[in-house]
Amino acid sequence: MTADDPLPSWRDGASKQVIRDFVGRVTGADGSGVVPAEERIAVFDNDGTLWCEKPMPIQLDFILRRLVVMAEQDPALRTRQPWQAAYTRDYDWLNTVITDHYRGDDSGVKVFAVGVLTAFADITVEEFEAQADRFLRTTDHPTLGREYLTCSYAPMIELLDYLGANGFHNYIVSGGGRDFMRPISLDVYGVPRQRVIGSSASLAWTSDGRGGTLLHKPELDVLVDGPEKPVQIWNRVGRRPLLAAGNSNGDIPMLQFAEQPDRPSLRLLLRHDDAAREFDYVAGAEQALELADANHWTVVSIEKDWATVFPSLPDQVG
């Protein structure tokens, strides 16, 4: 990132120019009125927007490994979903659950949620975060030849840095687990943990004479997806965002929520269309792509708009 080009991983073109023009309007660099710093809110989905979500979301891999351990310990679970899918590596069932969710059918999600909530019941918040942090820093992506922690998108990290340098407050707003993302959000994205908004299990506090203990309960607190994204943004931030970025149908309400007729606004929809460097798919994003033109959203093509997809690995530098 340089003063002349704060987005070096973005190819010169319409998407890059739209972003720079938007920041110019917000900061008054184009001669227009300056938007106060406290109103400069930007919100980003995580899976598929800030880091890779194929062949499965990263947190799903984390969860499946725990479900396999449970099935190994209790054979009766091997005939029940989602333990059966995890134990037999039936990834088609899991992908169907995700795709159906983004198409409006949550029957599979409800079944899967029971397993997830059971898998981490009665674990302390500190131990859960330690497990998530260890997993993200030591586990390899199954096809990309890099650790999960390096599967974030270099252009999006540059965008976060660019916005931060221009007075924006960046938030992650994800259907993924809040406590799964928090341990690494600052290191990877420069987003402090208190600005991570995500799905969560209910918690229970008990006194133990040493500050108390917070435990995960086997019940859902909130699933931050679809209409729940604007609700949680307002609950946590108390403002509409100026910028929203997503990649799926579940991000549509958040993108719509960022429309501000009296303020500059920018909606970015990431399109996965680069099979050579990442993945090529539209499943779960069909409606969002159809709405992009009518809602004046900027569709960012990985293939056309990004010169680089992932950060350089240590042995690639120099």
Residue 160's pLDDT is what?
A: 98
In a domain, 86, yes or no: yes
Distance (Å, whole) CA 244 – CA 308: 22
pLDDT in tens, 216-271: 999 999 999 999 999 999 999 999 999 999 999 999 999 999 998 889 999 999 99
Q: Is 119 exposed, middle or buried (0-12, 13-18, 19+ CB in 10 A)?
A: buried
In a domain, 153, yes or no: yes
Residues 261 and 275 occupy one common structural domain:
yes
Helix (H) or strand (E) holding 117: helix 107-119
Residues 224 and 90 occupy one common structural domain:
no
Percent of the chain scored above 90 by pLDDT?
83
Backbone conformation region of residue 269, classed left if phi is above 0, alpha if psi is from -120 to 50, else beta: beta
Within 8 A by CB and 6+ apart from 4, the residues are: none
Residue 111 belongs to what domain range? 58-138
Task: From 138, 168, 186, give the residue that closes a domain.
Answer: 138
Residues 188 and 285 occupy one common structural domain:
yes
Give the residue from 123, 127, 116, 129 showing the smallest Cα distance to 203: 123
Query: What number of CA atoms fall less than 13 Å from residue 274's CA on the CB side?
Result: 17
Q: How confident is the model at residue 315 (pLDDT cuts 50, 70, 90)?
A: low
Residue 97's pLDDT is what?
A: 87
Residues 103 and 132 occupy one common structural domain:
yes
Pairing state between β 169-177 and 196-206:
parallel
The token pair at 175 is 């259907």
Please say whether the beta carbons of 308 and 9 come within 8 A.
Answer: yes
Q: How confident is the model at residue 31 (pLDDT cuts 50, 70, 90)?
A: confident
Percent of the chain scored above 70 by pLDDT?
98
Full-model pTM: 0.94
Distance (Å, whole) CA 217 – CA 103: 29
Distance (Å, whole) CA 61 – CA 56: 7
Residue 156 sits in a domain whose CATH number is 3.40.50.1000
Residue 316's pLDDT is what?
A: 55
